[in-house]
Amino acid sequence: MSAPRGVFSGPFGAPAVSTEEDVLPAGIKLDRRSSVSAESMSTNTTEPRAGAVFPKTEHQKERLIAALSPNLLFRQLESEQFQSMLLAMREMRFAKGDIVIKQGDDADYCYATESGSLDVYVQPPGTPAEVALRAPANDLGQKVATYGPGATFGDLALLYMQPRAASVVATSDCVLWALDRLSFRTMLAHSDVQRRIMLDAFMKQVPLLQHLREDERLRVCDAIEFVEYPAGETVLREGDIGTQFFMIVSGVAEVIKQKETVSLLQRGDYFGELALLHRAPRAATVLASERSPNKKLRVGVLQEDAFTRLLGPLSDIMDRHAAMHYGTTPEAPTTTEAPPGSPRSGDAPAP
């Protein structure tokens, strides 16, 4: 259920069946339905066990710091947390063609790229983890991204205790720095930027938000809420007047027009933008799909005022997205906009 983008980033927190109780760190606002799944990281419990330590030369430390320095949230860690993370990270080398992460696999490490390049592949929406894991190296799905030096990835699967949501393949010889799950979660448990790390990591998976500067993405972090829908429940209905924008954190959503499914959306996709961009009723019905792992759809939600303030300038990109997924892009109304708080007399159904 975006993600996890934070200290580490990448599309690797795929939704999957979980037996854990749904828990979120304090500070995240939730709708009454349910919460987003994440392991509890309360500091009121027993002190976490120390993770592995890998001594490094001064040259290795310099290389590692250079690889991590592009990340804004990493630079916000306390000095003690920063030093602990440096000690816990280990150097790993991969040859061209090596599969660093396989979709569907269990998560053990997250990575920071020092050198080399890697491609990211994702299987079609709703592909079971066990099916993705058995896929041959020449059939890993659709290529969705390329990573180079300074890229960090693999954190969301550790955050949400779920299988990998994508495969990552080295396209050249690579040097990566890896952090194990225990050390990663121990760091988060004692970090006052824990919530931002989780949210920023998810949002770096949303293609729309990749056009934003890191400080702009952090402002979106502060405004986002999380809601969970069981399979079969309607998230929004065609023709309704909408006041919310949705980004999929996990699961699969079905886009329906005239009682037919016209598109499937998964982690990183978004919907609900047309009603806010054009002050028009919803252009399609969206419901939580039975294809969703664990039969749940989790979404991040922006209210209308936050959406307009933070994402309004991206309207052209969203119009093109709407034409692809809804089959239509309504024109903005020509009537004069009503004053705040008054009825919108210009609202009309999208063609």
Higher pLDDT among residues 329 and 301, named by residue = 301
Judge whether 118 and 174 are in contact, CB under 8 Å: yes
- Give the residue from 134, 99, 136 showing the smallest Cα distance to 120: 99
Q: Give the model confidence (pLDDT) of 177-226 as tens digits.
A: 998 888 887 776 655 455 666 677 777 778 777 777 777 777 888 788 88
Q: Where in the chain are the domains?
A: 58-190, 222-325
In sequence order, the β-bridge partners of residue 147 are 118
Q: Check whether 273 is labelled as a binding-site residue.
A: yes
Range list of H helices, the chain: 58-68, 79-88, 129-134, 156-160, 181-189, 194-203, 214-223, 273-277, 304-311, 315-325
Q: Which residues contact 260 (CB under 8 A, 6 or more apart)?
A: none
Cα–Cα distance for residue pair 229/284, rounded to 1 Å: 17
What is the chain's mean pLDDT, rounded?
74
Angstrom CA distances, 27 to 23, 193, 198, 222, 226, stand at 12, 11, 12, 10, 11
Q: Give the model confidence (pLDDT) of 265-303 as tens digits.
A: 988 888 988 888 778 888 899 999 998 888 889 898 988
Strand ranges (E), the chain: 90-94, 99-101, 109-115, 118-122, 142-147, 152-153, 167-170, 174-180, 225-230, 234-236, 244-250, 253-257, 260-265, 270-271, 285-288, 296-303
- Structure tokens of 194? 């824990």
What is the structure's pLDDT at 272? Answer: 87
pLDDT at 324 over 50: yes
Cα–Cα distance for residue pair 187/165, rounded to 1 Å: 23
What is the structure's pLDDT at 43? Answer: 36
Judge whether 287 and 261 are in contact, CB under 8 Å: no
Architecture of domain 58-190: Sandwich (2.60)
What is the structure's pLDDT at 38? Answer: 34
Q: Give the model confidence (pLDDT) of 30-45 as tens digits.
A: 343 333 333 333 333 3
58-190 and 222-325, same CATH topology? yes
What is the structure's pLDDT at 13? Answer: 35
What is the structure's pLDDT at 83? Answer: 82
Cβ count near 61 (within 10 Å): 14
Higher pLDDT among residues 71 and 341, named by residue = 71
Q: 138-152 burial, b for 16+ CB within 10 Å, e for fewer? A: eebbeeebebeeebb
Q: Check whether 164 is labelled as a binding-site residue.
A: yes
Confidence of residue 325 (pLDDT cuts 50, 70, 90): low
pLDDT average, residue stretch 232-248: 91
Q: Give the model confidence (pLDDT) of 117-133 as tens digits.
A: 999 999 998 889 899 99
Prediction pTM value? 0.48
The DSSP 8-state label assigned to residue 209 in this structure reads G
Dihedral in degrees, nearest 10, Cα atoms 29, 243, 287, 160: -20
Taking each helix axis from N to C end, the angle separating 304-311 and 214-223, rounded to the nearest 10 degrees, works out to 180
The fourth-level CATH superfamily of domain 222-325 is Jelly Rolls (2.60.120.10)
Residue in this structure with the two tokens 């997205």, named with its chain if needed: 321
Residue in this structure with the two tokens 């047309």, named with its chain if needed: 274
What is the structure's pLDDT at 36? Answer: 33
pLDDT average, residue stretch 244-257: 91
CA atoms within 13 A on the CB side of 133: 11
